[in-house]
Amino acid sequence: MNNISSSLMDMRVITACIYICLILLCMRSSSSSVMFARGQDVGSDGGGRRQLVPAMFVFGDSLIDNGNNNNLPSLAKANYFPYGIDFAGGPTGRFSNGYTIVDGIANLLGLPLTPAYSEAVGSQVFHGVNYASAAAGILDVTGGNFVGRIPFNQQIRNFESTLSQIGMELGATEAVANSIKQSIIFIGFGSNDYLNNYMMPNYNTKNQYNAEQFADLLMQQYTRQLTRLYSLGARKFAVAGVGAIACVPSILAQSAYSKCSVDVDNLIAPFNRKVKAMISNLNENLPGAKFIYLDVYRMFVDILANPTQYGFSVIDRGCCGIGRNRGQISCLPLQAPCARRDQYVFWDAFHPTEAVNILLARNCFSGNTNVAFPMNIQQLANVEV
Amino acid 6: pLDDT = 56
Tens of pLDDT, residues 256-298: 999 999 999 999 999 999 999 999 999 999 999 999 999 999 9
Look at 365 and 6; give whichever has higher pLDDT: 365
Residues known to be catalytic: 62, 348, 351
Alpha-carbon distances, residue 97 vs 56, 155, 357 (angstroms): 22, 25, 10
Q: Which residues are within 8 A (CB) of 321 and not within 5 positions of it... i.e. 6 or more apart?
A: 249, 327, 328, 329, 330, 331, 335, 348, 349
Give mean pLDDT, residues 63-73: 98
Confidence at residue 61, expressed as pLDDT on a 0 to 100 scale: 98
pLDDT of residue 38: 23
d(C-alpha 8, C-alpha 175), whole Å: 49
Q: What is the pTM of this model?
A: 0.89
DSSP track, 153-179: HHHHHHHHHHHHHHHHHH-S-HHHHHH
In the predicted structure, residue 227 carries a pLDDT above the cut 70:
yes
- Mean pLDDT for 142-169 is 96
* pLDDT computed for residue 170 by the predictor: 84
| Other Cβ atoms within 10 Å of 21 Cβ, number | 10
User: How far apart, in Å, are the Cα atoms of 306 and each of 137, 246, 345?
Assistant: 30, 17, 11
pLDDT at position 222: 99
Q: How confident is the model at residue 171 (pLDDT cuts 50, 70, 90)?
A: confident
Distance in angstroms (rounded) separating the CA atoms of residues 302 and 298: 6
CB 47 within 8 A of CB 94: no
Residue range 170-190: mean pLDDT, rounded: 92
Distance between CA 152 and CA 69 in Å, rounded? 14
For position 21, what pLDDT does the model report? 42
CA dist., res. 12 & res. 118, Å (int): 26
How does the average pLDDT of the chain come out, rounded?
Answer: 90
Q: Is pLDDT above 60 for 27? A: no
Q: State yes or no: cis peptide before 374, omega within 30 of 0.
A: yes
CB neighbours of residue 32 within 10 Å = 10
